[in-house]
Amino acid sequence: MHSFFSIAVELSVGLFALLILTKVMGRASLSESTPFDFISMIVVGDFVSDAIYDPETHIFKVIFAILFWGILIYIIDIVTLKFHQSRGFFESQPALVINKGKIDRNVMKKNRVDMNHLQMLLRDRDIFSFREIEFAILESNGKVSVIRKPEYETTKRGDLDLANRSISVPVTLISDGVIINRNLDRLGKTEQWLISELKKHSIEDPKKVMIAEWRNEDGLFVQKIL
């Protein structure tokens, strides 16, 4: 019974210590945190787990460790605020993955982002086609910020008194130079048809294509590997 009571006390103290630390440090929510914030929370959480599972670790030692860790984080925050050059070391920097409508493959490689992951991030922003994007920035929290091309900026058709039109989901046919045959089958198309469509865009080799996607409304969108 004593051990259960001890665990309950240690959990309660650890929980409130973490809450206080989070409030004082002004940490963002986990979904918005940077990699540095995420690592900090893992380390502090490990301090609390030590107090629960290691009988040699006293709760006051854990509280000291949490407070000392909080002081270190606070000092780092002050340093990054006053000395801009230090941010590159402690914090991830935003990366321009799409510049003037062109996907920068080198930036994607540097940030370990593949085409499937980039498409997922864009769909999370309600963007389903690369043709809509003028600029896209990969933020330090792993999300993307997007500036659409003027013709794709969000408006209500009712505001312009326009008739409704059909909308289809873009289908990726080539990603990083690889033809996706299952998507061709979905459209009822063949590789020969795709190659002939690429020739209309002055592209002879599908391996030179960064992304190719088909949408019923406006056909094939193609971007070559830079």
Cβ(47)–Cβ(69) below 8 Å = yes
What is the per-residue pLDDT for 78? 78
Residue 124 token pair: 């999370």
What is the per-residue pLDDT for 31? 46
Under the banding of pLDDT at 50, 70 and 90, the label for residue 64 is confident
What is the per-residue pLDDT for 169? 77
Considering only residues 182 and 167, tell me which one the structure prediction assigns the higher pLDDT.
Answer: 182
Query: Has residue 141 got a pLDDT over 80?
Result: no
Q: Which CATH architecture has domain 95-152?
A: 2-Layer Sandwich (3.30)
What is the per-residue pLDDT for 144? 92
Of 5-9, 51-55, 115-119, give the lowest mean pLDDT range: 51-55
Reply yes or no on domain 167-224 having CATH 3.30.390.10. Answer: no
Measured distance CA(128)–CA(168) in Å, rounded:
10
Residues of the chain with CATH 3.30.240.20: 95-152, 167-224
| Alpha-helix runs per DSSP H in 95-203 | 105-110, 115-123, 181-187, 191-200
Q: Note the pLDDT tens digit of each residue in 79-125.
A: 766 776 666 666 667 889 999 999 999 999 988 889 999 999 999 99
Considering only residues 51 and 170, tell me which one the structure prediction assigns the higher pLDDT.
Answer: 170
What is the per-residue pLDDT for 28? 46
Of 31-35, 112-116, 124-128, 174-178, give the lowest mean pLDDT range: 31-35
Cβ(141)–Cβ(93) below 8 Å = no
DSSP-assigned beta bridge partners for residue 223: 211
- pTM greater than 0.85 (yes/no): no
Percent of the chain predicted with pLDDT > 70: 62
> Residue 48: what are its φ and ψ, rounded to 5°?
-65, -40
What is the per-residue pLDDT for 217? 83
Q: Note the pLDDT tens digit of each residue in 198-219.
A: 999 999 999 999 999 998 888 8
Under the banding of pLDDT at 50, 70 and 90, the label for residue 70 is confident
What is the per-residue pLDDT for 201? 92
Nearest residue to 139 (alpha-carbon basis) of 151, 124, 128, 126: 124
What is the per-residue pLDDT for 194? 94
What is the per-residue pLDDT for 33? 55
Q: Does residue 174 come out as left (phi exceeding 0), alpha (psi in the -120 to 50 range) or beta? A: beta
| Alpha-helix runs per DSSP H in the chain | 2-25, 35-53, 59-82, 87-90, 105-110, 115-123, 181-187, 191-200
